[in-house]
Amino acid sequence: MLPGSRSAREPDRGIKRGRHGLTPETVAENQRDRLVDAFVEVVAEHGYPQATISRITYAAGVTKKAFYEHFDGRDDCFRVAYEQGTDLIVARVEEARKRAGSWPEGVLAAMRTLLETLAGQPRFARVAVVEINSASPAVRRARTRWLEGFRTLLTDPEAGVAGVPEAVADAVIGGVYSAIYLKVDADRAAELPELVSSLTYFVLLPLLGKEGAAQELARMGQAP
């Protein structure tokens, strides 16, 4: 599950005081997972500037001392939450793309998976897409690396379609990201799946042209 998909305060996630028979490693992993979930919950609700360590640790049900045993500070926690979540998204997107029968079908499958995943996890979507703008350069660089990972959809496509220059690929990726941002920033992440057809068309356009992109969408039962 993506960070923030569960409350850190769920009864089955707590560790009883005193003897509990758990190893230190298990306790540490439990605390770390709860802190990451609590971080996403607090940032999504209050915004990153107002997401104090006190709020995060209270939401996680752990002490500040425990927080600093796992993270150097808020930005470090942000980076971990972001990378953990985006790694899961990339894995899902890649799996969907590889199952597709052709390059255009792979683009459609990847787009649908990305948008449906974000729509289903609005807390993580807000943190990863909107609140990350308030984070440190180190965290924002993690976003850049994540976005660059989508270049292969355009620069090294399958089915014999010639790729486009990286600068063009980056412009297309930026356009897709902007469309997602506008929905999430307006608290309308649930509407993201409605963009599947139009954003797939936008990705196909530089390689197939207007007619080719429209024809591929029609073949796949979609409309731009």
**pLDDT tens column, 92-110:** 999 998 899 888 999 999 9
Band of pLDDT at residue 80, cut at 50, 70 and 90: very high
Query: In the chain, which segments carry CATH 1.10.10.60?
Result: 19-73
CATH number of 19-73: 1.10.10.60
For the whole model, what pTM was predicted? Answer: 0.89
Q: Homologous superfamily of 76-219 in CATH?
A: Tetracycline Repressor, domain 2 (1.10.357.10)
What is the arithmetic mean of pLDDT over 161-174?
Answer: 83
Neighbours of 84 (CB within 10 A): 15
**pLDDT tens column, 183-207:** 999 999 999 999 999 999 999 998 8
Residue 162 has pLDDT above 50, yes or no: yes
Residue 39 has pLDDT above 60, yes or no: yes
Query: In the chain, which segments carry CATH 1.10.357.10?
Result: 76-219
pLDDT at position 160: 47
Spatial separation of the C-alpha atoms in residues 202 and 54, rounded to whole Å: 43
